[in-house]
Amino acid sequence: MHNFTPQKLYLDKKTILITGAGDGIGKQAALHYAKFGATVILLGKTVVKLESVYDEIITNGGNEPAIVPLDLKGATAKHYRDMADTINDQFGCLDGLLHNASVLGHLGPFAQISEQDWQNVFQVNVTSQFLMTQALLPSLKKAPHSSVIFTTSSVGVQGRAYWGPYSISKFATQGMMQVLADEYDNSSIRFNCINPGATKTTMRAKAFPAENADHLKTPEQIMPLYLYLMDNEKSTENGQTIDAQPK
Ligand code: NDP
């Protein structure tokens, strides 16, 4: 799966929604899914970034993407239900969902975590995924086979000092994935988690401002696993947390 080389256009006629599609890992995932034939729904906070990804996909000859400008921090259940209705009307079903967007929040001692920061991180990293997944389950069920990928982190597997809300939110993400995978075992929907590992993005630079980023993998280099888990013919995993950069 880490050396997965997809067949040309293996995602033809598939519709895949990517959160945080304007930057970093989400942007590369959107470009790659589009390159292999998918129609992608680009969800994110900053519209100009989404428009730039849209333009790149069109320039590369991909299907016309849809853009969903949405700040996950303020989005309510109604926003997600409305989005699901639009997806059903426009595409009929949803074949893939990549929960990629998240925020780091402030890193620092547990004793100093503010309630505000806790709420913000949990709203974006956990509650939005719960509400969005719940709203989109009917669209995912309508596809012959569908794949939902969550995004965790090494600090979502082993807690780490000073990583407070972010670390705890990633444990919650893995819990959500496992609950869903168990509930939908032997169904047409698969749920898994990717741990990208250290990857050269804005978030990584914020978390490790002093490191030399030249030795890091780029988002593009970790794409084989993202492509593999969206292949509903080759990939049979359900309920797994998989490292994009195995040791
Ligand atoms: P980036 O910060 O580079 O990108 C995050 C994306 O999420 C951006 O497109 C951002 O949009 C979007 N986003 C953030 N907040 C919101 C919001 N409130 N509403 C909508 N969209 C939002 O992060 P990465 O690409 O590095 O991270 C992607 C995923 O991988 C995350 O879940 C992260 O936790 C995980 N990860 C990353 C690692 C790494 O080393 N990079 C390691 C382990 C895990 P905008 O640009 O508009 O703010």
Q: Catalytic residue numbers?
A: 166
Chain segment 37-52, per-residue pLDDT in tens: 999 999 999 999 999 9
pLDDT at 2 over 90: no
pLDDT in tens, 7-62: 999 999 999 999 999 999 999 999 999 999 999 999 999 999 999 999 999 999 99
What is the pLDDT, as a whole number, of residue 49? 98
Give the mean pLDDT of 64-86.
Answer: 97
Whether pLDDT at 131 is above 90: yes
Could you tell me the residue ranges of all domains in the chain? Answer: 15-243
- The pick from 18, 19, 23 for probing ligand 1's pocket by mutation, whose C-beta has the most ligand atoms within 8 angstroms, reads 23
Quick one: tokens of 178? 């496992």
Strand-pairing partners, residue 17, are 41, 97
Protein residue whose Cα sits closest to atom 37 of ligand 1: 196
- Cβ of 174 closer than 6 Å to ligand 1, yes or no, is no
Residue 116's pLDDT is 98
The dihedral built from the CA positions of residue 127, 190, 141 and 96, taken in this order, carries a sign that is positive
Is residue 49 lining ligand 1, measured as CB closer than 6 Å? Answer: yes
Can you give the pLDDT at residue 193? 98
CATH tag, 15-243: 3.40.50.720
Q: Whose CA is nearest to atom 44 of ligand 1?
A: 153
In total, the chain counts a number of residues equal to 247
Q: Assess whether the C-beta atom of 56 lies below 6 angstroms from ligand 1.
A: no
Handedness of CA 205, 210, 211, 214 (dihedral sign): positive
What digits encode the pLDDT tens for the residues 99-126? 999 999 999 999 999 999 999 999 999 9
